[in-house]
Every structure is written in structure tokens, then in C-alpha cells.
């Protein structure tokens, strides 16, 4: 709609440090990114800056940092994390792998328990329906209990989805960050 009214297009840019990855040193608020396009002799050029989400507040420093500077700072942190001793590096990899394995085992256990609860809830829904069909319970009780079971089942499914996303992503991320810091 804005493109029709103002005659311009807005594009979403992939920001490397998005998602509340950083907080402002001054106020603790999230740091946000923005892409500015500037005309140069060779054509338009995009510059990505990061700034505090609240930098317009009175007394707050109005400072923006270019993405290249943040890249440099992150690489400097990785440089300080580098482990020179190969045996210590191997030990750290082994501990990381062990922790990941333990975390995955715990996730599998949680998953099995959530699936067990899901199966029980589906069975309860079936029994509830059978009781209603046999006229053993009234419509109001059936509706109330049916809603309760549906809500509990939806909660279990959300927990299963979150579990599936989190454990694989975090384990993979930890391993990649360590390997990146050692190169």
C-alpha cells in the first residue's frame, strides 16, 4: 500500500546482527539495524548501520556503528577465544560434543514424555466422544471437557514444536561458533 501511495518500494534487508543479538551499552535496550542507500558516482550503494532502538531519547548518545566495524569487533573476540594448544582444543571439542549428546538425550526423553501425554489426551478425547454418543454426559459437560482437552493438546503440540527447533539449532550453533573461533 505504501508503494502505491508514495511511489516507492520498501525492501527488507537481511541484517547480520538482528534479533536482539546486542544491547546498548548506554541504556541496555536492543540494538537495531538499518540500511541506508546513498548515491555515489558509481551508482547507489547500501550502507548498514546499527544503533540503539532508543537513541532518540533525551540524553542518549546519537551514535551509529557501521556493520564492518561490528564485524571487526566480533572477529577480534573470536581471536581472543582461539585456543593455541591442540590438546586443549581437542578436549574442548570432546566436552562440547558430550554436552550436545547429553542435551540431545534429554530432548529425546522430553519428546517421548510429551508424545506419551499427547497420546493420552487423544485417547481421552475419544472416550469423551463415546460418552457423549452414548448419552452418558450432557452437551455442556462435553463441550467444557472437549475444550479443556483441545487446549491441553495444543499446548503439548507447541512444546513439541519448540523442542524440535531448539535442540538441533543450539547444538549445531555451538559447534559452528567454536570451529569459527578456532580458524
Chain segment 47-71, per-residue pLDDT in tens: 899 999 888 899 999 999 999 999 9
For residue 48, the SS3 value is: strand
> Which residues lie below 8 Å from residue 46, measured CB to CB, with a gap of 6+?
13, 35, 36, 37
Query: What pLDDT is recorded for position 4?
Result: 45
> Grid coordinates representing 153?
493438546
pTM greater than 0.75 (yes/no): no
Q: Is 25 helix (H, G, I), strand (E, B) or coil?
A: coil
Query: Cα 83 to the chain's mean position, in Å?
Result: 28
Residue 137 CA to residue 98 CA, distance in Å, equals 53
pLDDT digits (tens, 9 = 90+) for 128-164: 999 999 999 999 999 999 999 999 999 999 998 888 7
Amino acid at each position: 500500500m505504501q508503494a502505491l501511495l508514495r511511489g516507492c518500494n520498501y525492501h527488507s534487508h537481511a541484517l547480520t546482527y538482528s534479533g536482539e543479538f546486542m544491547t546498548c551499552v548506554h541504556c541496555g535496550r536492543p540494538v537495531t539495524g538499518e540500511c541506508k542507500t546513498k548515491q555515489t558516482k558509481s551508482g547507489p550503494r547500501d550502507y548498514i548501520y546499527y544503533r540503539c532502538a532508543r537513541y532518540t531519547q533525551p540524553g542518549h548518545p546519537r551514535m551509529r556503528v557501521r556493520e564492518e566495524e561490528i564485524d571487526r569487533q566480533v572477529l577480534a573476540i573470536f581471536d581472543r577465544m582461539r585456543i593455541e594448544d591442540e590438546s586443549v582444543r581437542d578436549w574442548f571439542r570432546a566436552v562440547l560434543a558430550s554436552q550436545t549428546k547429553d542435551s540431545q538425550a534429554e530432548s529425546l526423553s522430553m519428546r517421548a514424555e510429551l508424545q506419551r501425554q499427547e497420546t493420552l489426551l487423544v485417547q481421552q478425547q475419544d472416550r469423551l466422544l463415546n460418552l457423549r454418543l452414548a448419552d452418558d454426559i450432557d452437551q455442556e459437560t462435553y463441550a467444557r471437557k472437549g475444550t479443556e482437552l483441545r487446549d491441553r493438546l495444543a499446548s503439548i503440540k507447541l512444546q513439541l514444536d519448540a523442542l524440535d527447533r531448539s535442540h538441533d539449532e543450539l547444538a549445531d550453533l555451538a559447534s559452528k561458533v567454536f570451529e569459527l573461533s578456532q580458524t
